Amino acid sequence: MNVSSTSDVYYDPYNVEINADPYPVFRRLREEAPLYYNAQHDFYAVSRFDDVERALLDPKTYISGRGGILELIKANIKMPPGVLIFEDPPVHTVHRSLLSRVFTPRKVAALEPKIREFCARSLDPLIGAGRFDFIADLGAQMPMRTIGMLIGIPEQDQEAVRDSVDANLRTKAGKPMKVSQGEIASGAMFADYIDWRAEHPSDDLMTELIQAEFEDENGKVRRLTREEILTYVNVIAGAGNETTGRLIGWAGKVLADHPDQRRQLVEDRSLIPDAIEELLRYEPPAPHVGRYVARDVEVHGRTVPEGNAMLLLVGSANRDDRRYPDGDRFDIHRRIDQHLTFSHGIHFCLGAALARLEGRVALDEVLKRFPEWEVDLAGAKLASTSTVRGWETLPVFTS
């Protein structure tokens, strides 16, 4: 049954034209088909803020243990332990508590000097060049170095690790991601590093995971298995590189489109934290998240049966006029009490504070050196992926 049969609105997460600018379709979904069904790919979707938030706060109905990506949910693949974003309680609770030790406010705040140093290394050589690429020169560099330092990956290996993780997220234009049981967050590329760290402990995530003792979901006090550590590190490496790089790219594009607001940031750097929140709301790196419907649920007067896939359209919810007046307008002065870019509830992003810090520092360091820029649209290219949305390349002209 097509529950949106009263409207001809069509949404397809694999459609290249829609993905280039999904917001007109999102607006129509919110107004005409707040519960949408796509027969071709067999998924439901909700698009209003309240509906997306409600689903994120109901992990018993909308479970994560079958994957958070549509392709994974449809593939019916068993998730290996340690893929935190694809887990449900009680194992999720145990694994999350382990990682939360790494991302404490104190530990994150202490990273700022190194993040500034990484930005300076990327940007200083570009002064006077007349152009740079927000992705190649910064977005693909600073987050890689930051997460590599946190995990314990030697600097000379960080680019290879980043490229391997990124390749797993790439899809052919207009096509779903290909998935198989053996490829889900295997973390095999990190095996040698973990073996080295077991013999040479240091102040990094791998050492902490190797040494951590905890009580698991069965009440047994133990340490993580090697396979669990590999999975953990793989998940963190992917999340730490991809989404923050997308945020930096969107900062370049959106602030080029709104030069008056960019100039306000140049004049008053205290506006940068709010600007980052507005960027996260306005162009979330992950515009949708998937959930498996574990029991029949009523949405807008219709029943979504158990066993279906539901897409929660975060990118649409973040622009819902019911929550944010004139939601399609970018405004660095907007007061945001909450957006859904980092999810909500038990799966709220553990790395949110780090992503915010990296975004703030990156924008500050760019504005110090390049207060004016225009995007070279002929050279800009959106990434081809069904999981995140952002720029593959974003070259700009500077003055």
- What span, in angstroms and rounded, lies between the C-alpha atoms of 139 and 283? 15
Could you tell me the pTM of the whole model?
0.90
Residue 209 lies in a domain: yes
* Digitized pLDDT (tens) for each residue of the chain, 399 residues in all: 344 456 899 999 999 899 999 999 999 999 999 999 999 999 999 999 999 999 999 999 999 999 889 998 998 887 777 777 888 898 888 888 888 877 888 888 999 999 999 999 999 999 999 999 999 999 999 999 998 898 888 888 888 777 766 665 555 555 565 555 444 445 677 888 888 888 989 888 889 889 988 888 889 999 988 888 888 888 888 777 778 999 999 999 999 999 999 999 999 999 999 999 999 999 999 999 999 999 999 999 999 999 999 999 999 999 999 999 999 999 999 999 999 999 999 999 989 999 999 999 999 999 999 999 999 999 999 987 777 899 999 999 998
User: Residue 36: in which H helix or E strand, if any?
Assistant: strand 35-38
Tell me whether residue 8 is in a domain.
no
Does 356 reside within a domain?
A: yes
Give the list of residues 6+ apart from residue 172 with CB closer than 8 angstroms, or none.
384
Tokens matching residue 122: 């990327």
3-state SS of 337-351? CCCCCCCCHHHCCCC
Would 281 be classed as within a structural domain? yes
Give the domain extent around 170: 16-398
74 within some domain:
yes
Q: At residue 370, what are phi and psi to the nearest 5 degrees?
A: -135, 80
Burial class of residue 213 (count of CB atoms within 10 Å of its CB; 0-12, 13-18, 19+)? exposed
**Into how many domains does the chain fold?**
1
The reply to whether 11 falls in a domain is: no
Whether 9 maps to a domain, the answer reads: no
Within a domain: residue 7?
A: no
Q: Assign residue 213 the CATH number of its domain.
A: 1.10.630.10
